[in-house]
C-alpha cells in the first residue's frame, strides 16, 4: 500500500510547468523587441525550474521529487547556448544554496541534463514534431537512468522502490512530452500569425503597386502617342526615325511589363489558350530581371521555340514566376 502524501505539491509542480507554457502562448506574440522575444522563453523556463526546486512533492513513502528536469530540458532545447549557460549557472548556485547530503549528485545530474539538452538543440530544432518528442526525451532518459541507479543502490531494500521509480519516470516523461507539444503548438501559431501578417502586407503592397502601375502607364501612353506623331514628320532623317522607333519599342515593352503586373494584381476572367512556353518564360524573366540584378543574380534561359502549353496565361505566369523567383532569388545562384 502506497503512502501518497504529496499530491498537492505534485499538482502544484504540474501547474507551474503548464502555466509557464500558457504565459508563453499568451505573451510571446505580443513582444516585438527581438532580443526580448528571444530571451522570453528561457526566462520562463528558469522561473519554472526554480519554482519546482523550491516546491518538491513527497511521493510513495517519503521519497521527495520534483519536476525541475522538464524546464531544464525545454530551456536549452529551444534557447540554445544563450539559455543553457545562464540557466546552468543559476541552477548550480541555487542547488549549492539549498545544500543537503546529495548536493554533489544534484550538481552533476543538473550539469548533465542542461549540457546534453544544449548539445542536441541544433538537431532537435531541425526535426519534425514526432521526432522532436523522441529526441527531446534523450536528456530526460539519461537523467532518469542515473537517478534510478543511485536510488536503487541507496534504497535497495525499500519495499516499493521499483514502483516508485516507475511512477516518477512516467510522470516526468508525460509532462515533458506534453510540454513539448504545447511549445510546438505555440510556435506553429506564431508562425501562422507571422504568415498572415506578411500576407496582409503583401496584399497592401500589391494594391499599391497596381495603383502606381496605372499612374505610370498613363503618361507612357501619352509619350508614345507624341513620339509616334513626331515620327510622321517629313523633316526627320532616317537615323532620327530609327531612334524614335527604338523609343516606341521601349515604351511598348515597359507597357507590356506593367500590364503583366496588373494582371497579377487584378486577375481577369479565366481564358484557356495555347501559349508559347518560350514567350511565357521570357515574360517572367523580364519581370524578375530588376530584382535579380539587385541580388547580383543572372537569369539565363534556353528553351525551344516550338514548345507550347495549353492553359490560362495568368496561372501559367504565376507558376513560372514562383518557380524562377524561388530558384534565382532565394537560392542566390544563376540558372
Across 7-16, 171-180, 250-259, the highest mean pLDDT is recorded for 171-180
The vertex-321 CA angle with 317 and 323, nearest 5°, equals: 120
Q: How many residues does the chain have?
A: 335
In whole angstroms, what is the distance from residue 133 CA to residue 143 CA? 16
> Which set of grid coordinates corresponds to residue 63?
521519497
The pLDDT score that the predictor gives to residue 149 is 84
- Report residue 37: phi and psi, to 5°: -65, -40
Query: Which residues are CB-neighbours of 56 under 8 A, at least 6 positions away?
Result: 6, 9, 13, 64, 65, 66
Strands 63-65 and 57-59: antiparallel
- Supply the mean pLDDT for the chain: 78
E strand map for the chain: 57-59, 63-65, 273-276, 308-311
The pLDDT score that the predictor gives to residue 203 is 74
Mean pLDDT, residues 48-53 taken together: 86
What number of CA atoms fall less than 13 Å from residue 232's CA on the CB side?
5
Angle formed by the axes of helices 81-98 and 69-79, to 10°? 160
Domains of the chain: 7-197 (1.10.1760), 270-335 (3.30.565.10)
Q: Which residue has cell 522532436?
A: 132
**Residue 1 confidence class, pLDDT cut points 50, 70, 90:** very low
N-to-C CA span, the chain: 73
Under 8 Å between Cβ of 186 and 25: yes
Question: Is 333 a residue whose pLDDT tops 50?
Answer: no
The pLDDT score that the predictor gives to residue 325 is 63
> Which set of grid coordinates corresponds to residue 329?
532569388
In whole angstroms, what is the distance from residue 179 CA to residue 45 CA? 11
In whole angstroms, what is the distance from residue 49 CA to residue 98 CA? 14
The pLDDT score that the predictor gives to residue 304 is 67
Helix (H, G, I), strand (E, B) or coil at 68: coil
**Residue 334 confidence class, pLDDT cut points 50, 70, 90:** very low
In whole angstroms, what is the distance from residue 221 CA to residue 130 CA? 59
The pLDDT score that the predictor gives to residue 110 is 86
Query: Which residues are CB-neighbours of 129 under 8 A, at least 6 positions away?
Result: 181, 184
Amino acid at each position: 500500500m502506497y503512502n501518497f502524501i504529496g499530491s498537492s505539491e505534485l499538482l502544484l509542480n504540474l501547474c507551474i510547468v503548464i502555466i509557464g507554457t500558457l504565459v508563453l502562448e499568451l505573451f510571446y506574440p505580443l513582444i516585438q523587441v527581438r532580443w526580448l522575444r528571444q530571451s522570453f522563453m528561457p526566462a520562463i523556463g528558469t522561473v519554472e525550474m526554480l519554482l519546482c526546486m523550491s516546491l518538491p512533492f513527497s511521493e510513495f513513502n517519503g521519497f521527495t521529487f520534483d519536476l525541475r528536469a522538464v524546464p531544464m530540458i525545454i530551456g536549452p532545447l529551444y534557447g540554445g547556448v544563450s539559455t543553457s549557460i545562464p540557466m546552468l549557472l543559476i541552477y548550480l548556485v541555487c542547488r549549492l544554496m539549498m545544500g543537503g547530503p546529495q548536493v554533489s549528485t544534484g550538481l552533476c545530474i543538473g550539469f548533465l541534463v542542461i549540457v546534453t539538452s544544449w548539445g542536441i538543440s541544433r538537431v532537435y530544432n531541425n526535426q519534425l514534431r514526432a521526432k522532436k518528442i523522441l529526441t527531446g526525451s534523450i536528456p530526460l532518459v539519461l537523467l532518469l537512468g542515473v537517478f534510478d541507479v543511485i536510488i536503487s543502490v541507496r534504497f535497495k531494500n525499500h519495499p516499493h522502490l521499483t514502483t516508485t521509480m516507475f511512477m516518477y519516470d512516467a510522470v516526468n516523461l508525460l509532462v515533458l512530452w506534453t510540454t513539448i507539444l504545447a511549445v510546438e503548438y505555440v510556435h506553429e501559431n506564431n508562425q501562422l500569425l507571422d504568415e498572415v501578417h506578411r500576407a496582409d502586407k503583401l496584399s497592401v503592397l500589391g494594391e499599391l503597386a497596381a495603383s502606381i502601375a496605372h499612374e505610370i502607364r498613363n503618361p507612357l501612353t501619352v509619350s508614345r502617342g507624341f513620339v509616334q506623331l513626331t515620327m510622321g514628320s517629313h523633316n526627320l532623317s532616317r537615323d532620327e526615325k530609327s531612334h524614335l522607333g527604338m523609343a516606341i519599342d521601349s515604351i511598348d515593352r515597359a507597357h507590356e511589363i506593367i500590364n503583366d503586373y496588373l494582371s497579377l494584381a487584378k486577375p481577369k476572367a479565366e481564358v484557356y489558350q495555347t501559349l508559347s512556353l518560350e514567350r511565357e518564360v521570357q515574360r517572367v524573366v523580364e519581370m524578375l530581371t530588376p530584382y535579380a540584378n539587385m541580388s547580383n543574380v543572372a537569369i539565363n534561359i534556353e528553351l525551344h521555340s516550338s514548345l507550347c502549353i495549353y492553359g490560362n496565361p495568368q496561372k501559367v505566369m504565376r507558376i513560372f514566376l514562383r518557380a524562377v523567383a524561388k530558384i534565382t532569388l532565394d537560392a542566390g545562384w544563376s540558372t
